[in-house]
Amino acid sequence: MAKPKVLLTRKWPADAEAKANELFDVTLNEDDHKMSVEELQDAMRNYDAVCPTVSDFIINSQILDIEERRCRIVSNFGVGFNNIDTEAAKAAGVVVTNTPEVLTHCTADIAMALLLSVSRRVGEGERLVRDKKWDGWCPTHMLATKVTGKKLGFIGFGRIAQAVAHKAHHGFDMDISFYDPYPPVDDVIKQYNATKLDTVEDVLKKSDFVTLHCPGGGSNTNLMNKERLSLMQPHAFLINTARGDVVDEVALVEALKKGVIAGAGLDVFAKEPTVTEALLSMENVVLLPHLGSATTETRVDMGLRSLANVKAFFDGEEPKDRVA
């Protein structure tokens, strides 16, 4: 029996690509270019499965509703799947899967790295040293914000958020609160001595740090807008490792310039790889190029998880990580 034909839309780590070659008749993106809409439409005609990433064009009806479509499963390389129109996929009868769990701790590490970096002015200090502008220690030089013991609020409290809460509460004695429309069970909440709040606004008002862990797209687009940013305390910091479109970047720039909030740490952006120009020159912002899951171990595991979902589907089993 012929192996299913599978397309990987971007270059994957070598170990994951090797596994793909073992399991399937796979086509690799050797030069790692971003595929055009036309290429993705052709992929729907010529492959049994397509494995896209967050950096691709949105897999929507324009791509899915193609004549003589062969593709039956879209297996996303990533835990977020707002790069796929799941309603359009359902209408087309195409299965959609993602890769949860395997990137939890590395993304949580980046959230903590951003929190520490922006509050302790790490990026600013590092640039000062590299530019040979540091003229020595003094008692009032680059005074920053203490992290230990502060209040950390979460918008969304799923796996990644809980991993951040573990590090923050048990490692930095931070006081944890959160809002999530689908909260975890009480036993999970008790692990971090966390307080469940009723609204996003409640979290913003009481937190020294606010960290975003909610899905992107839909009603969450520009969730952190001018009005909500204004509810944060002037000494507070915003951390985003979720999806860039959750934050209104124009409103964020205004809030940072006017001192509405103290700073921000961002790993994701609304129009990646483009970053709102004003953010680039701000010293109270730490900017990372979407590094949340960027460890070799995690990216290999993401690839293997994506492939496992494809294999299960063609073996006649229910893919473990089906989202549509």
Catalytic residue among 235, 290, 297, 322: 290
Q: Of the candidates 195, 100, 186, which has an alpha carbon nearest to the alpha carbon of residue 154?
A: 195
Question: Which region, left, alpha or beta, applies to residue 217 given φ > 0 means left and ψ of -120 to 50 means alpha?
Answer: left
The residue annotated as part of the active site, out of 243, 249, 299, 305, is 243
- Residue 297 token pair: 């171990």
Phi, psi of 224 (to 5 degrees): -90, 85
Active-site residue, 170 included: no
Preceding omega of 289 cis (within 30 degrees of 0): no
Residue 49, number of CB atoms within 10 A of its CB: 28
Q: Which of 235, 272, 297, 322 is catalytic?
A: 272
Specify the 3-state DSSP secondary structure of 322. Answer: strand
User: In the annotation, is 38 catalytic?
Assistant: no
Beta strands in the chain (DSSP E): 5-8, 25-27, 49-51, 73-75, 95-97, 151-155, 175-179, 195-196, 209-212, 237-240, 263-266, 285-287
In the annotation, is 10 catalytic?
no
Task: Say whether 312 sits in a helix, a strand or coil.
Answer: helix
Task: Tell me how far apart the alpha carbons of residues 35 and 57 are, in angstroms, rounded to a whole number.
Answer: 8
**Phi, psi (5° rounding) for residue 19?**
-65, -40
Q: Which residues are catalytic?
A: 243, 272, 290
